[in-house]
């Protein structure tokens, strides 16, 4: 079972940049999408259906903002929209698909780059998200939490850790949270297989950052420890260029 996470930075813009053709060639089983920036009726569902995908989406109330989706060739047993928390659900940040005893989540963690208010919102979200997930584990212990976490874990995950030490996404309290989250029972599947530096999933549009590989690794496929024996490989697909992010692939035995 091949699962991708991909912040497309606007599903319609990504489609205009060849996302559908790339999807057909890559042929993953499940794609967890973040930042659809679209209402459900604006997502090209029929185009994805022609490629064999069922589309499930959870949009923000605010048009052109946030939003998550799951494209899947395998019909899920159940789809859960949101976390039952209006503060976050109105921003369209969480959708879950259940396949037998496996659950796959597409999650879009808030960014704190726009100022202190959103940074505080982000930190509150992180606490609430962790609590929600650990309650969810009691009924759905085999979890893959795929998404844009908007946090680099370690200095190896960012091109300039010294200059970015006070930047949202690499703040000590954010790094402490993601470290604790992993230690509480989750595997950073990319690092499980790959310890090489200069592996990133997001690049600024400024200063030719992508051409120069001045990036951040902020997109993850986190897997619960119960799935460790089923992990087969994990790869960053940096050649896909439909967004300022790129997809991250996880293959598991199903």
Number of H helices, E strands in the chain: 7, 14
User: What's the number of CA atoms in the CB half-sphere (13 Å) around residue 210?
Assistant: 14
Q: For the CA atoms of 222, 100, 85, 216, what is the dihedral angle to 10 degrees?
A: 20
User: What whole-number distance in Å separates Cα of residue 71 and Cα of residue 108?
Assistant: 15
The catalytic residue among 29, 41, 148, 179 is 148
Burial track 128-153 (b if 16+ CB lie within 10 A, e otherwise): ebbebbeebbeebebbbbbbbbbbbb
3-state secondary structure of 88: helix
* 105/83 Cα distance (integer angstroms): 11
Active site annotation includes 98: no
d(CA 172, CA 175): 5
Residues 6+ apart with CB under 8 A from 12: 37, 38, 42, 43, 44
Sign of CA dihedral 85, 87, 90, 91: negative
Active site residues: 148
């Amino acid at each position: 079972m091949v699962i991708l996470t991909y912040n497309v930075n606007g599903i319609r813009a990504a489609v205009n940049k060849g996302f559908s053709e790339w999807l057909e060639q890559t042929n993953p089983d499940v794609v967890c999408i973040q930042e659809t920036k679209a209402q459900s009726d604006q997502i090209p569902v029929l185009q994805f259906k022609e490629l064999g995908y069922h589309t499930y989406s959870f949009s923000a109330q605010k048009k052109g903002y946030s939003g998550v989706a799951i494209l899947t060739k395998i019909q899920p047993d159940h789809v859960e929209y949101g976390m039952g928390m209006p503060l976050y659900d109105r921003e369209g940040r969480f959708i879950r698909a259940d396949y037998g005893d496996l659950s796959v989540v597409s999650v879009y963690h808030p960014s704190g780059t726009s100022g202190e208010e959103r940074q505080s919102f982000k930190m509150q979200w992180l606490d609430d998200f962790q609590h929600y997930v650990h309650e969810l584990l009691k009924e759905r212990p085999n979890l893959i939490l795929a998404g844009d976490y908007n946090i680099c874990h370690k200095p190896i995950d960012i091109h300039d850790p010294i200059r970015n030490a006070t930047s949202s996404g690499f703040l000590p309290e954010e790094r402490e949270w993601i470290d604790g989250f992993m230690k509480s029972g989750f595997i950073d599947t990319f690092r499980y297989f790959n310890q090489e530096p200069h592996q990133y999933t997001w690049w600024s549009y400024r200063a030719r950052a992508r051409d120069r590989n001045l990036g951040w690794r902020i997109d993850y496929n986190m897997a619960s420890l119960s799935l460790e024996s089923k992990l087969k490989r994990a790869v960053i697909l940096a050649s896909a260029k439909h967004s300022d992010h790129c997809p991250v692939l996880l293959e598991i035995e199903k």
